[in-house]
Chains A and B, each alone.
Chain A
């Protein structure tokens, strides 16, 4: 595959039991089919230009169609957001790049794209702190 190579391997942090993580607290059962787990990835992630274009289009649609929504549940249930989550670990560097440019409601997706217990923003209660935690995490892994 040609494309930009991203030096991040989720396997490096993954629980080796792999496939079936506990379902994230707060996510409705109906969401299950929308999310692809990252349990089988064994090589550094490469993000193809097509994948990046898809991400950009979905992000644009999601942000504009949730611009006046007040609740996180409505924001992350948007079909475009669910499709981004379904991209799996490919989405991580793309999300972090977007987050480094402007604030966004990405923490739910990111939390579910890394192994359980590895959310670097865990415990934060503000957008600013969560953003900082994820961007530092990305820099420390050379994703950003």
Chain B
């Protein structure tokens, strides 16, 4: 993350994304914003195709959701279990594969999952950027920042038949 300017609250969503948080997106390069900023869902729920709640295990708190049978911790193990419960299995690459939807987990230096991106049928990726917008982006690397870590684990499941690009 770059230095946060004193006038951060006055910046537009685009300026926050490009000038402050994700320098690789500067100038609108390789991405499009596709929603207004909201806190009603997070990067994990968005990667799972859900925009009605936030998947958040801890601390256990009103307003957030977690699968009942999965350990309540924001760990790679628990989050992988969450995805497996929802039909995903680990795979070895993020390449576009006909009939499959892939989710990539960004992991930081402490082995903690920090971000998730979901592959669209057209090969682009979609990501919810914290409490800011969700975006479509061409590459996974454009969101590599210290706060998010790097894309390191890929899971996939069969894509719904009627899902468009």
Residues of A within 8 A of B (CB): 24-27, 60, 64-74, 76, 103-105, 107-108, 111, 119, 121-131, 133
Query: Which residues of B approach A to under 8 Å, CB–CB?
Result: 1, 4, 8-9, 16, 21, 38-40, 42-44, 52-54, 56, 58-65, 72, 74, 114-116, 128-132, 147-148
CB contacts (< 8 Å) of A76 on chain B: these are: 59
Smallest Cβ-Cβ distance to A108: which chain B residue? B61
Cα(A121)–Cα(B131), bound, Å: 21
A67 contacts B40, CB within 8 Å? no
B59 touches A73 (CB 8 A): yes
Cβ contact within 8 Å between A68 and B53: no
Taking CB atoms, residues of chain A closer than 8 Å to B42 are: 70-71
Flag if B132 contacts A107 (CB, 8 Å). no
Chain B residues near A108: list those with CB within 8 A.
59, 61
In the complex, the 10 A-B pairs of residues with the closest C-beta atoms, listed nearest first: A130-B63, A26-B59, A68-B130, A121-B62, A70-B43, A26-B60, A125-B65, A72-B56, A107-B63, A71-B74
Interfacial chain A residues near B62, Cβ < 8 Å = 107, 111, 119, 121-124, 130, 133
Does A126 lie within 8 Å of B44, measured CB to CB?
no
Report the separation of the CA atoms of residues A131 and B62 in the bound assembly, to the nearest whole angstrom.
Answer: 10
Q: Are B9 and A60 in contact (CB under 8 A)?
A: yes
Q: Which of B9, B39, B62, B128 has the most CB of A within 10 A?
A: B62
Residues on A with C-beta less than 8 A from B44 are 70
A104: which B residues are within 8 A, CB to CB?
A: 39
Cross-chain pairs A/B with CB under 8 angstroms, 15 sampled:
A66-B131, A68-B1, A68-B21, A68-B129, A70-B44, A72-B58, A72-B61, A73-B59, A74-B74, A103-B40, A107-B62, A108-B59, A123-B62, A127-B53, A127-B64
Q: Knowing A26-B72, A126-B52, A128-B40, say if A73 contacts B58 (CB, 8 Å).
A: yes
Q: A126-B40, A127-B54 are in contact. Are A67 and B61 (CB under 8 A)?
A: no
Q: Which residue of B lies closest to A31 (CB)?
A: B59
Contact check, B130 vs A125: say whether CB atoms are below 8 A apart.
no
Known: A72-B58, A72-B64, A124-B63. A67 touches B53 (CB 8 A): no
Q: Check if B39 sits within 8 Å of A105, measured CB to CB.
A: yes
In the bound assembly, the distance between CA atoms of A103 and B1 in angstroms comes to 23
Taking the closest CB of chain B, its distance from the CB of A96, in whole angstroms, is: 14
Cβ–Cβ < 8 Å partners of B60 in chain A: 25-26
Complex Cα distance, B58 from A76, in Å, reads: 10
